[in-house]
């Protein structure tokens, strides 16, 4: 085990979901992806905050990979190492997470975690950026899941932190054009600053028409990162025949699609959950400038103001995207 003095903890979109609607389970298909309110007493109060970066202050016996004084980012999604998915190297699908909720106490001054959770941060990456290693690893994993090829056209529906990270990672992976649909102006501006070729407000114009026109009939890969039924359909119909749609967002409600959008166009629809081994890769891409975490950070608050930060992220008129809590 190691103890880490926390420098920054980012507020994740999943944290915001739970702040709004209560505990959100991982998978839990038998409960239709909900925890019944009658069972909340078993989950609440719960720890929150899992986008963590800090400095190691204490190491336990036998710890060799990190030392006191090391700057680290924390990968809190540790798998059981024994189920069939862990044996296959698909640790993000570990059955230990079925029905579980993320339970990491990152909104604190310090935290004790297993040593394997502490990922060393390159010297050139400030802890302010390292706190985004977790969400940006989700984005990098989503791009890798898509089998994006150099020169492909890409559409991203939803420019929250994960969607913006996908814009960044897709450009780094060699995408030809990255097209973004996002209703919030501040987030559209960040997408453009990251290098998006086209950014549209879906409340003002139809993204399907614009994206299929500029990409000559449809993009090669679309990422659904908004979590609503409408964008799920838009992401499919903006994709060319035989294209790929990657669902990355957490949906609060059921969504409906027309299955013919998949069958008759031979589109592939897949999911991307969390990350596998992308943490060191993401930190390396931050270090050499291929990823731009600073552009996603819109605010910092002390720990005592964390409630105000959550309220800002919920507010549809807010310009905030990623807020870091600094204990």
pLDDT per residue as tens digits for the range 36-71: 777 777 778 888 999 999 999 999 999 999 999 999
User: What CATH number is given to the structural domain containing 55?
Assistant: 3.90.180.10
Residues 220 and 303 in one domain: no
The yes-or-no verdict on residue 279 having pLDDT over 90 is yes
| Angle in degrees, CA 301, 302, 305, rounded to 5 | 75
Residue 232 placed within a domain:
yes
pLDDT at 101: 66
Cβ 35 vs Cβ 44: under 8 Å: no
Q: What is the pTM of this model?
A: 0.95
Residues 69 and 168 in one domain: no
Residues 267 and 311 in one domain: no
Residues 172 and 265 in one domain: yes
Residues 152 and 123 in one domain: no
Average pLDDT, stretch 250-274? 95
Average pLDDT, stretch 216-230? 96
Parent domain of 212: 137-271
pLDDT at 36: 77
Tokens matching residue 70 = 């090391």
Residue 283 placed within a domain:
no
Tokens matching residue 141 = 């994993």
Give the pLDDT band (50/70/90) at residue 282: very high
Residues 174 and 108 in one domain: no
Cβ 125 vs Cβ 286: under 8 Å: yes
Residues 125 and 248 in one domain: no
Cβ 179 vs Cβ 211: under 8 Å: yes
pLDDT per residue as tens digits for the range 149-178: 999 999 999 999 999 999 999 999 999 999
pLDDT per residue as tens digits for the range 253-264: 899 999 999 999
Tokens matching residue 49 = 């905050």
Give the pLDDT band (50/70/90) at residue 23: confident
């Amino acid at each position: 085990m190691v103890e880490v003095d926390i420098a920054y903890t980012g507020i994740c979109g999943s944290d915001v979901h739970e702040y709004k609607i209560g505990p959100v389970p991982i998978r839990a298909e038998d409960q239709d992806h909900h925890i019944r309110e009658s069972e909340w007493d078993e989950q609440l109060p719960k720890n929150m905050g899992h986008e963590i970066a800090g400095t190691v202050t204490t190491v336990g016996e036998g710890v060799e990979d990190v030392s006191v004084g090391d700057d680290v980012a924390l990968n809190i999604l540790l798998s059981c190492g024994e189920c069939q998915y862990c044996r296959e190297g698909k640790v993000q699908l570990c059955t230990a997470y079925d029905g579980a909720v993320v339970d990491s106490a990152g909104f604190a001054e310090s935290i004790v975690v297993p040593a394997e959770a502490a990922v060393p941060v390159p010297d050139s990456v400030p802890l302010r950026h390292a706190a985004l290693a977790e969400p940006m690893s989700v984005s990098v994993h989503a791009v890798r899941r898509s089998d994006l090829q150099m020169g492909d056209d890409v559409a991203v529906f939803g420019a929250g932190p994960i969607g913006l990270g996908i814009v960044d990672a897709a450009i780094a992976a060699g995408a030809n054009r990255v097209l973004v649909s996002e209703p919030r102006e501040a987030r559209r501006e960040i997408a453009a600053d990251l290098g998006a070729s086209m950014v549209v407000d879906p409340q003002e114009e139809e993204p399907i028409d614009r994206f299929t026109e500029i990409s000559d009939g449809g993009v090669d890969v679309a990422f659904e990162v908004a979590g609503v039924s409408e964008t799920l359909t838009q992401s499919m119909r903006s994709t060319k025949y035989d294209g790929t749609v990657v669902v990355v967002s957490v949906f609060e409600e059921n969504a409906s699609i027309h299955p013919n959008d998949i069958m008759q166009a031979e589109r592939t629809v897949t999911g991307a959950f969390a990350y596998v081994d992308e943490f060191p890769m993401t930190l390396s891409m931050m270090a050499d400038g291929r990823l731009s975490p600073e552009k996603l950070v819109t605010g910092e608050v002390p720990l005592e103001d964390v409630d105000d930060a959550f309220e800002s992220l919920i507010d549809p008129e807010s310009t905030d995207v990623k807020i870091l809590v600094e204990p």
